[in-house]
Structure 1
Amino acid sequence: MLKINKEKLVMQSVCGEISHPRARSYRFDTEGQSHMVPGTGGITYNVKVGDYASGWKGDHVEPGVSIQLSDALKNSGLNCMACVGNEAKVISGEAKGKKGVVTGFHGGIEHTLIHFDDETLDKLAIGDKIQIKSVGNGLEIENYEDIKTYNLDPALFEKMGIKQLEDGSLQVDVVTEVPARLMGSGIGSPAFRGDYDIQTADPEDYKKFGLDKLRLGDIVLLRDCDTTYSRGYLKGAVTIGVVIHSDCIIGGHGPGVSTLLTCKESKIKGNQNPKANIANYLELK
C-alpha cells in the first residue's frame, strides 16, 4: 500500500470572493469568426463537474463557482495553497454555512473553482465569501521522491486507487491519454498553479483521442509533458491532471488541465477507466 506524508501536511485557511463574469470583447475562433458567448467567472448553474467539457456555447466556461481576490498577492496565496478536493465553506450571505469542494484552478484569470449542490448555488451571490481548508501542499509519496504532487488533497489521493506495479511504477486510472503535440496555452507557466490547455483546433486528433467526450473532472494522462516545475515538452515525462474548464473558441486553447502528479520519467502508467472522474471520487451531486 502506498504511504503518503499526510500527518505532516499543514492545513490553513484561505478565502476568496465569488467573482463577476468578464467580457472584454468578441472572441475570435481559428477561422476568424467572432462570437459573443459566456466565459469565465461568476456562478455557473448548469455546467458542473461530471458534465461534458465540449459542446457548450461558451469559451473557457468554469463549472460551478469561481472565486478570487482583488489583491493579486493574496489571490496568489489562494491559488497556490488550495488543492483539488479541499473542503470549501460559505462564510457570508444567504448560503452561509453551506459546504462545497475545490475542483481546479484556472490560470491567466487566476480563479479557484468550487463545486456546490444546486440548493446552495441558488442561494449564492456575486461577492459572497468562501473559505477553504487548504491542505495538500508538500504531499509526498514514500519511496517516490521523483514523482511530484501538486494541487492534490491527501484524501482525494487515497480515493484515486493508485497502485504500485511490479516494475516499481505507479498505475493511475485515467479516462484518456493526450499527446504533447495537443497541449497549448499554459506552456512555460509554473506547474503548481493554474492549468494547461488541450488544443481543439485539429478536429481529427481531438476525436481520435476521445477528447470530444471528455467530462469536467476527468482524470487524464498527458504524454511527454513535464510539469515538475514549469509546463513543457520532455520525451518520456508523464503528467496526471484533472479537466477543470470547458473547451474554447480561441486558437491554442481548449479544456484546461490542472496538474495532480508528474514525473520526468515514465514512472506513471495510465489505466483506462471511463469512471476516473473526481465527481465519482468525491461523490459530488
Structure 2
Amino acid sequence: MSLRANFEEIVMLSVIGEIGSPRRPFSPYVVTHDGRPVTVPSSGGITYNVRVGDRASGWACDHVEPGATVRNKDADENNALAILSCIGNEAHVVSGEGKGSVGTVTGKHGGAEHLMIDFSPEVLNKLTIGDKIQVRAYGRGLRLLDAPEIKLMNMSVQLLQRLPATVAEDGSLTIPVAGIVPPELMGSGVGSNAERGDYDIQTHDREVLEANGLANLRLGDIVAVRDQDHSFGRGYRKGSMVVGVIAHSDCMVAGHGPGLTTIMTCNTGKLHPVIDPEHANIASILGLR
C-alpha cells in the first residue's frame, strides 16, 4: 500500500534566516574523546566540499554541516525556522548574487540551532555569509492515514511523497534504512525534544560500529534507532523505534557523532526498518545528486 496522508490539510508558510558565519570561542582547541587538543573546522558557514550524500566520517572536522548553514539572529524567529522547517522543503535565496536560486533543507542541528541547506556547487559559489534564505515550511501537521500509530516529525510533504516506504493492512510501516543503531550508542541530545535539532550517534567505539554495520554512514542516510521513543522527547523505551536522517558530520568530542534528525517514531511496534542502503539516502530520494 502506498503512503496516504492528510496532504490537503497542510499549510505552507514562509520562515527566514541567513547564512551564518562560523563562530568560535577564544581558545582554538577542541579536546577529542581520547584527550588530544585539535584545531579543526566546525559548524556554520558555507561548506563547499561536503554535501548530503558524502561520507559522514573521515573528515578532519568536528560537527561540520553540509552545504549552507542558516539561522535567524532573532531567537523566537529562529525557533520558528528550526521547528517549522522540514527535511525536503524548498529553500529560496532571496538576497545576494545567488538570488532566485533554490535549495533543499537536509537537516537540523540542535544546540547550535542551525538549519542545513543543500545547494548545487554552482549556487554555493555565488552565496556569501549574510545572504538571506527563505524556507517554504511545508509538512507540520502531517499524519499517515493508514498508519496512525506512527508519528511524523520534521518530515516535509516533498519527502513523504517520495519516501520508498510501504504500509501494510495492519497499519505497520516498512522503510529502507542504511543501518539500525542500538540505543546505547546514542549520545548528545538524549532527553531533548525531537521536533527540532538532532541527537548524536556516538562513534568512538569502532568495533561496535563495525559489528552493527554503521562504520560507513553517509550524510543524508535514513537510519533507525531501536528501543527509542521520540513522541514527547528523546528517550529509551524497549520495543519502540525511531527513524531519522543523518544531518551533520562525525565529531571528535566524547559523547558526540553524526547527528540524527528524527522523521518518524513509533512506540507500538509498527515501524519496521529494513537495511537497504541503496534506497536510504535523501540525496537520491529527493534527486539532489
The bucket for the TM-score relative to the shorter chain is over 0.9
Partner of 2:224: 221
- Give the alignment partner of residue 284 of structure 1, picking from 258, 263, 288: 288
Q: Which amino acid aligns with 1:79?
A: A
Q: Structure 1 residue 209: deviation in Å?
A: 1.8
C-alpha contact (below 8 Å) 1:225/1:233 kept by paired residues? yes
After TM superposition, where is structure 1 displaced by more than 4 Å over at least 4 residues in a row?
Answer: none
C-alpha contact (below 8 Å) 2:148/2:171 kept by paired residues? no
Q: Structure 1 residue 178: deviation in Å?
A: 0.3
TM-score (norm. length: structure 1): 0.98
Tell me how far apart the structure 1 counterparts of residues 246 and 114 of structure 2 sit (CA, whole Å).
14
Q: Quick check: 207-216 or 173-182, which moved more?
A: 207-216
- Give the alignment partner of residue 36 of structure 1, picking from 32, 39, 51: 39
Tell me how far apart the structure 2 counterparts of residues 157 and 173 of structure 1 sit (CA, whole Å).
13
Partner of 2:215: 212
Q: Structure 1 residue 229: deviation in Å?
A: 1.3
Tell me how far apart the structure 2 counterparts of residues 20 and 57 of structure 1 sit (CA, whole Å).
19
Q: Structure 1 residue 69: deviation in Å?
A: 0.9
Counterpart check, 1:146 vs 2:162? no
Q: Which amino acid aligns with 2:21?
A: H
Pairs within 5 Å for 1:20-169: 20-24=21-25, 25=27, 26-165=29-168, 167-169=170-172
Q: Structure 1 residue 166: deviation in Å?
A: 5.3
Q: Quick check: 162-171 or 229-238, which moved more?
A: 162-171
Q: Which amino acid aligns with 1:18?
A: I
* Secondary structure of the corresponding residue to residue 268 of structure 2: coil
Q: Which amino acid aligns with 2:18?
A: E
* Secondary structure of the corresponding residue to residue 215 of structure 2: helix
C-alpha contact (below 8 Å) 1:160/1:173 kept by paired residues? no
**Ranges in structure 2 where 5+ consecutive residues have no aligned partner:** none
Q: Which amino acid aligns with 2:30?
A: R
Pairs within 5 Å for 1:226-241: 226-241=229-244
Counterpart check, 1:271 vs 2:274? yes
Q: Quick check: 19-28 or 106-115, which moved more?
A: 19-28
Q: Structure 1 residue 139: deviation in Å?
A: 0.4
TM-score (norm. length: structure 2): 0.96
* Deviation readout 1:139-162 (Å, 9 max, x if unpaired): 000143321101111221121121
Tell me how far apart the structure 1 counterparts of residues 33 and 107 of structure 2 sit (CA, whole Å).
26
C-alpha contact (below 8 Å) 2:86/2:154 kept by paired residues? yes
Query: In percent, how many aligned pairs have the same letter?
Result: 51
* Deviation readout 1:158-197 (Å, 9 max, x if unpaired): 2112112355411001011001000011111111000010
Tell me how far apart the structure 2 counterparts of residues 137 and 167 of structure 1 sit (CA, whole Å).
25
**Ranges in structure 1 where 5+ consecutive residues have no aligned partner:** none
Tell me how far apart the structure 2 counterparts of residues 111 and 89 of structure 1 sit (CA, whole Å).
16
Q: Structure 1 residue 31: deviation in Å?
A: 1.4
Partner of 1:5: 6
| Number of equivalenced pairs | 285
- Give the alignment partner of residue 258 of structure 1, picking from 255, 258, 261: 261
Q: Which amino acid aligns with 1:191?
A: A
Q: Which amino acid aligns with 2:195?
A: F
Cα RMSD (Å): 1.0
